Each structure stands twice: as structure tokens, then as C-alpha cells.
């Protein structure tokens, strides 16, 4: 079943919800990550709230991606509320109890009217058993966070609009054609699949620290994270054979003091070319410097290198993105160079990030 607008056969009564504002706000803020800010289909700017005999669930979708926050049994009531109106009202009332009935939210502070729409046109969300792959969610989240900057945002390159979750090889990989990020994570069961960048961005926001369960049908992938289900339409196309991109051997290594590297990069940032953000890494008999491609700023950095001469032009932004999750004292750059010291291949941090050098 696809996430498409279909008419409901059974009409259910409107929600009459009495709960704490903070708990409802948490579910609303989770589900709203899937809601379109401005859509040609008005219902997609709304959240669906459903109740059973004991609890409630909040759902948001843009037809390609959906989030269901909260687990319930047989639905007994449902109402669509304007997503951002509801969220803003709950932020004001978050320390109080709230009643949500017939489009009105009542709290000790007063009453707020929130726009509603008929639930008949709300998209049907497929139900998928998340039982194919099991993974520690903190490890999964950290791996997604590491590779996320490498995911392409070019719609024309739709096969690269997500990351490859390579279950058999225990890693998550992303590339935009200019760089590649890979992070290892232990996973049990299932085959390789792709995760869309929007899904990955929503998962990274979750603070859940338990186990994540993942399942599939022919068209969708579901991620069960605590009491929240993230559901995405599968990305089409084949992911590149990434192992062919990762160099198998290198001639040299340059080991940076991480604090010194970050300080040097911050020092040259104001002088970077706005469009390319290129920087030059030079080493002459062990003296390592970073220089903005404009030539207007140079900073020394503590590093050891086993090559006499090194000339490397590389994206400042790509290196900074790779440093986001680094917490150690040093980071390593491995590379091959010609007899003039010009770097032809480079990989950062032991093969986890491959960045193509830029033209000098």
C-alpha cells in the first residue's frame, strides 16, 4: 500500500484528548519533521491525532515520508489539526494539562482555537512489521550523523539522495560524487538497503538509547525507535560500488593534533573563497600549514608527516564536516602523491572519509 490520499470508508468520531501538554508537544515535535511547510495538498500541512481506549498517536507525512509518534491499538477517534498552529499553542501551555476537543485546546491559561480538517482525505499509512534488521540505535544514529554531510542534495542524482545501509558488511555509506563517508556499525539480520536523507535527518534528532528494529515491504522501509515509527518510500536505483572508490593503499600519512587542526581551520575561515571554500595543506620537511585558496590567510598546525613535500588542495567544508564527530586527540590523513608532492588521492581518518582533491 502506498502513502497516497485515499478516502476513509469508516467515519470515526473526533478526538477528545485530555493529557499533559509537554507529552503531547514531544510527540507533535517528532511527527512534524515529516510535515510539509507549504504544500499544494492542504492536508499535508496537518497532523493526524488518533486515539484508542488508553492512549494516542500523532502522525505527520509528506507522502514520501511519515512519522507516527506513539503506539496504539484499535483506533476509536481521529482528528486532523494544523501542525504548526498546534505546536505553537502547546509551547505556550507546555507546563500545564490540556484538553483537545472539537478544534479547541483548553488549558488553565485559557482556550485556543486550532484549525482542523476532515480526516477522510488524510493519506493511509502502511503498517509494516519492523523485524528484518536489529541495531543499537545510538550506534546507528552516530553512523548516520557521520555520513549525513556526504549525502547528495541534488534531486537529479536521486540514487545518491540517501545513504546505503550495508547490513552484510556492517557499515553505512554515503557519497555525493565528491566525497564518501563510511562508518562501521554492527547490525543483525536483513540485506542492504538505502535510507533517504530526510529520514536520516529525523532519526538523528531522536534521543532514544535502546534498540532499533527495521523492516520492509516492496515499497517502504520502517524504523521502529521506541514508540515512534519512521516510514519512508524506498529510494530507487542502485547505489555505487563504493568499495571501488576507497583506495586500498597509500604512500604517506599526516597525523594532525585535532585541537590544533580545528584552531587553524577556524583562523583561515574568514579568508576562504565564498564559493569553493578551498584550502591548501602544505608541508615542507615537516612544517605543516593551512592556507585559504585566496592566499590571504595562513595558519600553522601541529602535525607529523612522513613525506618531505606535500601539496594538497581540498575543501575546507568537507574536512570540517568530517571533524564533527571526532573526539580523540589526533586525526590522520592518508594520501598518495607524485614526485612533486602533489596529492592525487586522499582519505581522512583511517578510510572513513574519502575526499577528492581539488584543482590547484
Model pLDDT for residues 226-247, shown as the tens digit of each residue = 999 999 999 888 898 888 878 7
With respect to residue 360, please indicate whether it lies within any of the assigned structural domains: no
On whether both 62 and 152 belong to a single domain, the answer is: no
Cα distances (Å, whole numbers) of residue 199 to 31, 39, 61, 161, 220: 12, 19, 11, 11, 12
On whether both 64 and 100 belong to a single domain, the answer is: yes
On whether both 87 and 49 belong to a single domain, the answer is: yes
Asked whether the predicted pLDDT for residue 158 surpasses 80, the reply is no
Evaluate whether 121 touches 3 at the Cβ level (below 8 Å): no
Q: What pLDDT score does 215 carry? A: 95
With respect to residue 331, please indicate whether it lies within any of the assigned structural domains: yes
**Position 328 confidence tier, pLDDT thresholds 50, 70, 90:** confident
- Write the pLDDT tens digit of every residue in 265-274: 999 999 999 9
Evaluate whether 251 touches 336 at the Cβ level (below 8 Å): yes
- Average pLDDT, integer, range 280-292: 94
**Position 8 confidence tier, pLDDT thresholds 50, 70, 90:** very low
**Position 354 confidence tier, pLDDT thresholds 50, 70, 90:** confident
Domain that holds residue 150: 133-213+232-243
**Position 360 confidence tier, pLDDT thresholds 50, 70, 90:** low
Q: What pLDDT score does 98 carry? A: 94
With respect to residue 139, please indicate whether it lies within any of the assigned structural domains: yes
Number of domains in the chain: 3
Q: What pLDDT score does 12 carry? A: 86
On whether both 303 and 265 belong to a single domain, the answer is: yes
Asked whether the predicted pLDDT for residue 5 surpasses 50, the reply is no
**Position 345 confidence tier, pLDDT thresholds 50, 70, 90:** low
| Lowest mean pLDDT across 71-80, 146-155, 184-193 | 146-155
Q: What pLDDT score does 243 carry? A: 86
Q: What pLDDT score does 323 carry? A: 87
On whether both 112 and 145 belong to a single domain, the answer is: no
CA nearest 232: which of 61, 36, 83? 61
Asked whether the predicted pLDDT for residue 115 surpasses 90, the reply is yes
| Lowest mean pLDDT across 110-119, 135-144, 202-211, 241-250 | 241-250
Average pLDDT of the residues of the chain: 90
On whether both 330 and 262 belong to a single domain, the answer is: yes
With respect to residue 147, please indicate whether it lies within any of the assigned structural domains: yes
CA 96 to chain centre: 32
Q: How far apart are CA 64 and CA 357, in angstroms?
A: 35
On whether both 238 and 252 belong to a single domain, the answer is: no
Report which of residues 257 and 11 the model is more confident about. Answer: 257
On whether both 193 and 171 belong to a single domain, the answer is: yes
Asked whether the predicted pLDDT for residue 139 surpasses 90, the reply is yes
Q: Which one of 121, 153, 176 terminates a domain?
A: 121
Q: How far apart are CA 192 and CA 245, in angstroms?
A: 18
Q: Which one of 66, 96, 121 terminates a domain?
A: 121
On whether both 237 and 257 belong to a single domain, the answer is: no
On whether both 236 and 252 belong to a single domain, the answer is: no
Q: Counting every residue, how long is the chain? A: 360
With respect to residue 9, please indicate whether it lies within any of the assigned structural domains: no
Asked whether the predicted pLDDT for residue 358 surpasses 50, the reply is yes
Q: How far apart are CA 146 and CA 141, in angstroms?
A: 9
Buried b (16+ CB within 10 A) or exposed e, 285-318: eeebbbbbbeeebbbebebebebeebbbbbbbbb
On whether both 311 and 237 belong to a single domain, the answer is: no
Q: How many CB atoms lie within 10 A of CB 31?
A: 26
CATH number at residue 172: 3.10.150.10
Asked whether the predicted pLDDT for residue 344 surpasses 80, the reply is no
With respect to residue 66, please indicate whether it lies within any of the assigned structural domains: yes
Q: What pLDDT score does 237 carry? A: 86
With respect to residue 1, please indicate whether it lies within any of the assigned structural domains: no
On whether both 277 and 321 belong to a single domain, the answer is: yes
Q: Which one of 68, 100, 121 terminates a domain?
A: 121
pLDDT above 90 as % of the chain: 67
With respect to residue 53, please indicate whether it lies within any of the assigned structural domains: yes
**Position 249 confidence tier, pLDDT thresholds 50, 70, 90:** confident
Residues 6+ apart with CB under 8 A from 23: none
Q: What pLDDT score does 89 carry? A: 94
Please state the φ and ψ torsions of residue 267, each to the nearest 5 degrees. Answer: -65, -35
Amino acid at each position: 500500500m502506498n502513502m497516497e490520499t485515499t478516502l476513509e470508508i469508516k467515519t470515526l468520531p473526533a478526538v477528545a484528548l485530555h493529557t499533559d501538554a509537554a507529552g503531547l508537544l514531544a510527540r507533535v515535535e517528532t511527527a512534524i519533521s515529516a510535515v510539509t511547510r507549504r504544500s499544494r495538498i492542504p492536508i499535508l500541512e496537518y497532523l493526524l491525532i488518533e486515539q484508542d481506549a488508553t492512549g494516542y498517536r500523532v502522525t505527520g507525512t509528506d507522502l514520501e515520508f511519515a512519522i507516527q509518534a506513539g503506539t496504539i491499538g484499535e483506533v476509536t477517534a481521529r482528528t486532523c489539526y494544523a501542525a504548526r498552529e498546534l505546536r505553537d499553542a502547546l509551547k505556550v501551555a507546555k507546563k500545564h494539562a490540556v484538553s483537545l476537543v472539537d478544534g479547541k485546546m483548553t488549558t488553565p491559561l485559557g482556550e485556543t482555537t486550532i484549525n482542523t480538517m476532515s480526516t477522510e482525505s488524510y493519506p493511509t499509512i502502511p503498517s509494516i512489521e519492523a523485524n528484518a534488521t536489529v541495531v543499537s540505535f545510538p550506534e546507528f544514529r552516530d553512523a548516520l550523523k557521520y555520513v549525513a554531510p556526504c549525502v547528495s542534495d541534488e534531486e537529479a542524482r536521486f540514487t545518491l539522495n540517501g545513504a546505503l545501509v550495508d547490513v552484510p558488511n556492517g557499515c553505512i555509506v554515503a557519497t555525493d560524487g565528491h566525497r564518501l563517508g563510511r562508518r562501521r556499525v554492527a547490525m543483525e539480520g536483513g540485506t542492504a538497503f538505502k535510507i533517504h536523507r530526510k529520514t536520516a535527518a529525523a532519526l538523528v534528532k531522536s534521543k532514544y538509547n535502546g534498540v532499533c528494529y527495521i523492516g520492509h515491504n516492496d515499497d517502504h522501509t520502517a524504523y521502529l525507535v521506541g514508540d515512534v515509527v519512521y516510514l519512508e518510500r524506498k529510494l530507487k536505483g542502485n547505489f555505487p560500488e563504493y568499495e571501488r572508490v576507497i583506495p586500498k593503499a597509500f604512500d604517506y600519512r599526516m597525523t594532525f593534533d585535532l585541537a590544533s587542526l580545528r584552531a587553524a581551520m577556524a583562523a583561515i575561515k574568514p579568508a576562504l573563497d565564498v564559493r569553493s571554500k578551498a584550502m591548501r595543506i602544505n608541508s615542507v620537511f615537516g612544517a605543516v600549514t593551512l592556507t585559504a585558496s585566496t592566499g590571504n590567510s595562513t595558519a600553522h598546525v601541529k602535525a607529523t608527516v612522513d613525506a618531505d613535500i606535500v601539496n594538497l588542495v581540498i575543501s575546507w567544508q568537507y574536512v570540517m564536516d568530517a571533524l564533527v564527530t571526532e573526539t580523540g586527540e589526533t586525526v590522520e590523513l592518508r594520501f598518495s602523491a607524485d614526485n612533486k608532492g602533489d596529492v592525487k588521492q586522499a582519505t581522512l581518518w583511517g578510510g572513513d572519509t574519502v575526499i577528492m582533491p581539488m584543482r590547484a
